[in-house]
């Protein structure tokens, strides 16, 4: 069982992204081909299946978090490509494992403070026990009291995979 709560792109953001993305471009849906198959969907945090109706959109996760929190990330604000279902898919259902947890895959675990500034990060090569590996990386990140959220990104492309926020006192 995962120790931390994984957050996909939230429902309100998905509704907006299914019209226009964070770069202002209109969504262009298409049917997934073999080239897309297995790539991560950020709406439901599972791999794309052949023939699914998807869209590749530009997403700015820190910008959206900062707007909700009143933070000013400044130059740390960034946007990048993510796949989503072109239509509502019902979203993410938390499970026993972290999403996109293929052993040997390389991830960055990027830490942010309450201002939305990067406070560090680390490379994570997902171990055979992926859940324990992610738990240890998040434990390390949240051992710094200034860290309020963590973004997990693919090392190869830098694209956002999912977010984890500091657990509340009740959750710890």
Residue 46 lies in a domain: yes
Residue 115 lies in a domain: no
Residue 25 lies in a domain: yes
Residue 63 lies in a domain: yes
Per the CB < 8 A criterion, the answer to whether 102 and 126 are in contact is yes
Q: Count other Cβ atoms within 10 Å, centred on residue 108.
A: 17
Residue found under tokens 């993410």: 92
Residue 77 lies in a domain: yes
Quote the domain boundaries for residue 53: 8-85
Residue 108 lies in a domain: no
Residue found under tokens 């939305």: 116
Query: Average of pLDDT values for 136-153?
Result: 97
Residue 3 lies in a domain: no
Q: Tell me the per-residue pLDDT of 4-45, one tens digit each, with 9 for 90 and over.
A: 999 999 999 999 999 999 999 999 999 999 999 999 999 999
Which has the closest alpha carbon to 34: 50, 56, 48? 50
Query: Average of pLDDT values for 47-51?
Result: 97
pTM: 0.93
Rounded Cα distance, 44 and 85, in Å: 8
Q: Tell me the per-residue pLDDT of 70-129, one tens digit each, with 9 for 90 and over.
A: 999 999 999 999 999 999 999 998 888 999 999 999 999 999 999 999 999 999 999 999
Per the CB < 8 A criterion, the answer to whether 111 and 118 are in contact is yes
Residue 120 lies in a domain: no
The number of folded domains in the chain is: 1
């Amino acid at each position: 069982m995962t120790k931390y709560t994984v957050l996909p792109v939230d429902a309100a953001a998905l509704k907006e992204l299914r019209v226009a993305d964070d770069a202002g471009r209109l969504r262009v849906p298409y049917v997934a081909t073999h080239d897309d198959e297995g790539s991560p969907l950020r709406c439901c945090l599972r791999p794309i299946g052949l023939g699914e109706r998807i869209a590749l959109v530009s997403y700015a996760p820190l910008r959206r978090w900062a707007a909700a929190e009143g933070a000013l990330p400044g130059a740390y604000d960034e946007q990048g490509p993510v796949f989503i279902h072109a239509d509502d898919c019902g979203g993410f259902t938390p499970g026993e494992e972290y999403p996109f947890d293929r052993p040997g895959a390389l991830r960055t675990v990027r830490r942010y403070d309450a201002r939305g500034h990067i406070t560090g990060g680390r490379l994570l090569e997902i171990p055979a026990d992926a859940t324990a590996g992610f738990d240890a990386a998040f434990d390390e990140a949240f051992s710094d009291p200034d860290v309020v959220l963590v973004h997990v990104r693919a090392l190869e492309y830098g694209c956002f995979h999912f977010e984890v926020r500091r657990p509340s006192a009740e959750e710890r």
